[in-house]
């Protein structure tokens, strides 16, 4: 890491969040002593986990002195009553103050909600006491809509959240190309969207594992992007960490990019990601 990058890296690594599923609470508990107290733990909405498991995970996160942020998948939500019940229980039983809304993978909704905007419009979140509502950002473009439509939808959701008395938060899909992320951030701010952004970063993992997740999530990973990330396309058996990506983000971010922090996807395991973050923060201090 270059010295000039280290000086700039501290702000972007001072606050971070982690994506941890309900089944990984034991691993999170083991790693918790290394995690900055109060850090946000984002709990994804996975099809093979029920609401009871998600609620228990939020309670476990709160018990560790961390901030739970459960995801709500619009197309997997069967009814308004289910949405209300989960959000109200999360607030009452786990002290949840922030949620993250997504459309979800199914092409056909299981209930009345076709997209994340329809969840926001129910009014359930502000009535239940949610203070921060997260929405997804896509630096490489939305998989289901054009770039122009994607910007319009993102801005519309942020306005709706603000009008309902909550604070919008934008959390992006993970990426390997820092230059693409920086360009997206610049456009976001030029369009007048100044809400906090958490940039998705893959935690250290096997290169083959990273490639598999990239394919599943529609993330660009051509040879030139892999090279920027520090991976040789001919060597898929090693491991790779996000050092170059985070260095480049830290070096490229300016005040004009607004409030930006990192959101880690621990594809190689929670312990590995948390250890990497702690070491990087020490070097950057």
Domains of the chain in sequence order: 3-284 (3.20.20.220)
DSSP string of 126-190?
A: HHHT--EEEEEE-TT--TTS-HHHHHHHHHHHHHHHHHTT-EEEEEEEE-S-HHHHHHHHHHHHH
Residue 16 backbone phi and psi in degrees, to 5: -150, 165
Which pLDDT band, with edges at 50, 70 and 90, does 118 fall under?
very high
Residue 170's DSSP bridge partners are: 135, 197
Share of the chain above pLDDT 70, in %: 88
Q: What is the pLDDT of residues 250-281, one digit of tens each?
A: 999 999 999 999 999 999 899 999 999 999 98
159 against 11, higher pLDDT: 159
Of 1, 70, 14, whose CA–CA distance to 247 is shortest? Answer: 1
The token pair that represents 202 in the structure block: 């893959």
What is the average pLDDT across 157-170?
Answer: 98
Q: Look at residue 9 and tell me whether its pLDDT is greater than 50.
A: no
Q: What is the pLDDT of residues 10-68, one digit of tens each?
A: 467 788 999 999 999 999 999 999 999 999 999 999 988 999 999 999 999 999 999 99
Q: What is the pLDDT of residues 170-221, one digit of tens each?
A: 999 988 889 999 999 999 999 999 999 999 999 998 887 877 777 777 676 6
> For position 208, what pLDDT does the model report?
77
């Amino acid at each position: 890491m270059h010295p000039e990058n280290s000086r700039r890296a501290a702000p972007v690594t001072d606050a971070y969040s982690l994506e941890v599923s309900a089944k990984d609470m034991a691993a999170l508990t083991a790693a918790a002593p290394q995690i900055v107290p109060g850090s946000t733990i984002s709990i994804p909405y996975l099809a093979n986990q029920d609401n009871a498991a998600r609620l228990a995970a939020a309670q476990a996160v709160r018990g560790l002195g961390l901030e739970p942020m459960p995801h709500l998948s619009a197309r997997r939500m069967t009814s308004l009553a289910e949405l209300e019940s989960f959000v109200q229980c999360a607030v009452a039983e786990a002290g949840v103050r922030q949620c993250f809304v997504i459309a979800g993978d199914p092409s056909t909704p299981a209930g009345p909600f076709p997209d994340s905007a329809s969840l926001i419009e129910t009014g359930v979140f502000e009535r239940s006491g949610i203070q921060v509502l997260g929405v997804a950002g896509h630096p490489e473009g939305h998989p289901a809509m054009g770039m122009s439509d994607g910007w319009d939808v993102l801005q519309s959701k942020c306005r709706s959240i603000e009008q309902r008395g909550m604070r919008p938060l934008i959390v992006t899909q993970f990426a390997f190309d820092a230059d693409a992320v920086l360009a997206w951030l610049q456009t976001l701010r030029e369009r007048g969207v100044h809400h906090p952004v958490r940039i998705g970063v893959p935690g250290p993992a096997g290169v083959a594992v990273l490639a598999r997740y990239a394919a599943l999530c529609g993330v660009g990973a051509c040879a030139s992007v892999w090279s920027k990330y520090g991976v040789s396309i001919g060597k898929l058996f090693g491991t790779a960490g996000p050092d170059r990506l985070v260095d480049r983000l830290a070096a490229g971010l300016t005040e004009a990019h607004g409030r930006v922090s990192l959101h880690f996807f621990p594809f190689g395991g929670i312990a590995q990601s948390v250890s990497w973050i702690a070491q990087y923060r020490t070097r950057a201090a």
